Amino acid sequence: MTIFVLITLIPALFKGTFNLLLRGNEYLDPGSGSFILQLILASLLGFLFILKTYWQKLLRIFRRLFSKSNNEQEE
Amino acid sequence: MKSNSNQNLSKIRTLTTPETLGSSFRDPSGFLFKQQGEIFRQINLEYRNHYDHLMSSGLYQYLVEHTLMLTHKEIEIPPPDPITAYKIIKPNMLDFVSYPYEWCFSQLKHAALTTLRLQRNALKYGMCLKDASAYNIQFHHGKPVLIDSLSFETYIPGKPWIAYRQFCQHFLAPLSLAAYRDIRLFQLTKTFIDGIPLDLTSRLLPNRSRFSVGVWMHIHLHAKSQQKYANQKIKSSNNFNLNSMLGLIDSLENTVNGMKWKLIGAGWESYYHHDHNYSPNGLKSKEKIIHTWLKEINPTLVWDLGANTGKFSRIASQQNMRTLAFDIDPAAVEINYQQCLDQKETYLLPLVMDFTNPSPALGWQHRERLSLEDRGPANALLALALIHHLAIGNNVPLDRLAQFFSRLGKWLIIEFIPKEDSQVQRLLSYREDIFSSYNQATFEKIFSNFFKIHKVQSVHESLRNLYLMENRLL
């Protein structure tokens, strides 16, 4: 139950904060809004990408280790 | 006499003078032009450094080797605009230029993923995609490739992706509308040729789309950001480092990969099992006739009008004839495209087309996107089990049908289905029969005005007849 509440509440709070930051209703100028959104998201996107890269590296190391030990067992 | 010589002079001029293509005017880096029926691209001096970087860094080589980009070669001909010219290149010719509003769901999805792959690889070579237009991707020998050699610029660290908005409007917007709402919303790309506005997309999408982090971030939040920061000056910032850029590409890739259009459950299942009223012998005889006639006329480019899932188109494509399989039904085109991928077919390109309202000329001066007719003619047309839909389903008189086909291709293999056929009876079951001239004799008489009828053969165990005709005008 607690996990369910966390899963539904955290994204909602996260989205709410961004919606507050971005509230406005001016004439559309698609260029600047797209640039600024990228700048706002820069750290988050960069952080997630680094996390993913390290996670994949870690997985690769584990896979190699396991395949080695399997090979040794087979030998 | 004088007017004749003037006409001849103007003909010679149009043959030899370069003509700038109507779609090529936005980018100051260069432009496309046509000369003696061939397409060339002038690269302007202001793009010199970027072009040299593309060619010398190894990026061009990499993209060509991995079939991500159309090849080109540098050639020495006088440039159309010598003051601004740096080089002239000749891109490899495409068989046919298709547009995103003619693609099925998976075709647009694959074009989107190709664009992101191009951007990721460009970054490895110190370049960046400055243009993420869906029109820059074309299906060449079965694969989506970049056709615009001027799409890259030298990467400046810290700068956000200039083509992010365009990517979201051209790819994410139609894909998400199809995945979360309805595939028919793809047709909005015909109205908004620079991509579907994100505020409109956000309003059209159901609330459940916000549960996808990618759709929420790149469509809903993006639309809000556009409203919030409208007309705001952008201060230069070095905040957006390479990891942020790669993170953005990764996030967009995950979002595109997460988009699914399910045929089953969306009301398209009935189209899946194409019902026809041929006996096994009838079907075999129809295939044999088409196969023999195609072999005789040996066309290089075949358009199958109303191809369904491409059963008969494959008779042409399997004989190495470049074939376009048009159908009104996005589900049939999707199935056809999936089959092309599974069988690694390179001679067949399935496309969505409604022949009661074929793709028009669009954009600035009606010249940015060509109409279907302007992209022809084909060497051969297949119009199988089609004309009763147009003549009875859409009330098009036979002479107008003949005239339309005569503008699209040289050879015509056409099937006439009489009123007694159950498929025509089905069309007439809910309406009054006002089609007194819809009969075989009138059909032959009217089509003879535009075509020379070479052969007629009946399909075994059916009331249908196949005709091989040659255009009198082309």
B34-38, B42-46, B295-299, range with the lowest pLDDT: B34-38
In B59-172, where does DSSP find H-type helix? Answer: 59-65, 105-124, 164-167
| Of the candidates B464, B463, B440, the residue with the CA atom closest to the CA atom of residue B453 | B440
β-pairing, B127-129 vs B322-327, is unpaired
Residue B420 phi, psi dihedral angles, 5° rounding: -70, -15
Does the pLDDT value for residue A3 go beyond 60? no
Find chain B residues with C-beta within 8 A of A17's C-beta: none
Instruction: Give this prediction's pTM.
Output: 0.88
What is the average pLDDT score of chain B?
A: 91
State which of B47, B65, B91 marks the end of a domain.
B91
Whether residues A52 and B164 touch (CB distance < 8 A) is answered with: no
pLDDT, tens only, B204-232: 999 999 999 999 999 999 999 999 988 77
B21-30, B44-53, B350-359, B439-448: range with lowest mean pLDDT: B21-30
- Nearest partner of B171 among B83, B92, B259, judged by Cα: B259
What is the domain range of residue B35?
17-91
Please check whether residue B12 lies inside any domain of the structure. no
Question: What percentage of residues in chain B have a pLDDT greater than 70?
Answer: 93
**Shared domain check, B432 and B357:** yes
* B384 and B415 assigned to the same domain: yes
**Residue B9 in domain:** no
Q: What is the CA radius of gyration of chain A?
A: 21
Which CA distances in Å does B407 have to B78, B403, B411, B474? 34, 7, 11, 8
Structure tokens at B224: 């809000």
Instruction: Choose the final residue of a domain: B237, B257, B277.
Output: B257
- For tokens 């400055």, the residue is B130
pLDDT digits (tens, 9 = 90+) for B390-419: 999 899 999 999 999 999 999 999 999 998
B224 assigned to some structural domain: yes
Let me know whether B218 and B328 are in one domain. no
Q: What is the structure's pLDDT at B50?
A: 96
Per-residue pLDDT tens digits for B74-124: 999 999 999 999 999 999 999 999 999 999 999 999 999 999 999 999 999
Nearest Cβ partner for B246 among A23, A37, A49: A49
Q: What is the pLDDT of residue B432?
A: 80
Q: Evaluate if residue A30 carries a pLDDT over 70.
A: no
The tally of domains found in chain B comes to 3
Task: Specify the pLDDT at position B400.
Answer: 96
CA B120, CA B152: separation in Å to the nearest integer? 12
Confirm if B184 and B173 have CB atoms less than 8 A apart.
no
**φ, ψ at B305 (rounded to 5°):** -90, 115
Q: What is the dihedral of CA B401, B403, B407, B408, to 10 degrees?
A: 20
Between chains, do B234 and A40 touch, taking CB under 8 Å as contact? no
- Name B72's bridge partners: B91
**Pick from B160, B232, B246: which is nearest to A38 by CB?**
B160
B192 touching chain A per CB within 8 A = no
Between CA B41 and CA B24 the distance in angstroms is 10
Residue B186: phi, psi to the nearest 5? -55, -30
Residue A67 confidence (pLDDT) above 70: yes
Treating both helix axes as pointing N-terminal to C-terminal, what angle do B105-124 and B330-342 enclose, rounded to 10 degrees?
50
Which CATH number goes with the domain that contains B158? 1.10.510
The pLDDT of residue B291: 98
Do B50 and B124 reside in the same domain of the chain?
Answer: no
The whole-angstrom separation of Cα A46 and Cα A50 is 6
Phi, psi (5° rounding) for residue B368?
-75, -45
Q: What is the ipTM of this complex?
A: 0.80
B144-181 in b/e form (b: 16+ CB < 10 A) is bbbbbbbbbbbbeeebbbbbbbbbbbbbbbbbbbbbbe
In a domain, B105, yes or no: yes
Q: Is A54 exposed, middle or buried (0-12, 13-18, 19+ CB in 10 A)?
A: exposed
Question: Is residue B68 domain-shared with residue B108, that is, in the same domain?
Answer: no
**pLDDT tens, position by position, B57-82:** 999 999 999 999 999 999 999 999 99
Residues B185 and B222 in one domain: yes
In Å, what is the CA distance from A62 to each residue of A47, A59, A70, A74? 23, 5, 12, 18
For residues B280 and B422, membership in a common domain is answered with yes
Using the predicted structure, report yes or no on whether residue B182 has a pLDDT greater than 60.
yes
- Predicted pLDDT of residue A72: 63
CB B130 within 8 A of CB B163: yes
Inter-chain contact B244–A38, Cβ cutoff 8 Å? Answer: yes
- pLDDT tens digits along B309-348: 999 999 999 999 999 999 999 999 999 999 999 999 999 9
Q: What is the CATH number of the domain that holds B333?
A: 3.40.50.150
Cis bond leading into B397, ω under 30°? no
Closest CB to B240 among A33, A38, A52:
A38
Facing B221 at nearest CB: one of A24, A26, A37: A37
Contact predicate B136/B255, CB 8 Å: no
- CA distances to A56, B43, B120 from A49, in Å: 11, 36, 13
In a domain, B8, yes or no: no
Task: Report pLDDT for B382.
Answer: 98
CA-based nearest distance A17→chain B, Å: 11
Q: Which percentage of chain B shows pLDDT scores above 90? A: 80
Question: Is position B214 within any domain?
Answer: yes
For the beta carbon of residue B113, count every other beta carbon within 10 angstroms: 16
Please check whether residues B301 and B427 belong to one and the same domain.
Answer: yes
pLDDT at residue B3 tops 60: no
Residue B80 phi/psi, 5-degree rounding, is -65, -30
Separation CA B417–CA B384 (nearest Å)? 9
Contacts of A49 in chain B (CB under 8 A): 243-244, 246-247, 250
Give yes or no: residues B399 and B459 share one domain. Answer: yes
Collapsing DSSP to helix, strand or coil, B175 comes out as helix
Element (H, E) at B342: helix B330-342
Q: Which pLDDT band holds residue B14 (cuts at 50, 70, 90)?
A: very low
Confidence of residue B236 (pLDDT cuts 50, 70, 90): low
pLDDT tens-digit series, residues B156-179: 999 999 999 999 999 999 999 999
Phi/psi-derived region of residue B382, left when phi > 0, alpha when psi is between -120 and 50, beta in every other case: beta
- Confidence check: pLDDT of B235 > 90: no
Mean pLDDT of B9-21: 58
Of B64, B91, B118, the residue that ends a domain is: B91
Is B129 found in the same domain as B60? no
My answer on whether B208 and B291 are in the same domain is no
The answer as to whether B48 is a domain residue is yes
Query: Stretch B252-273: mean pLDDT, rounded?
Result: 75
Residues B320 and B415 in one domain: yes
What token pair was written down for B137? 């991707």
Whether the CB-CB separation of B69 and B148 falls below 8 Å is answered with no
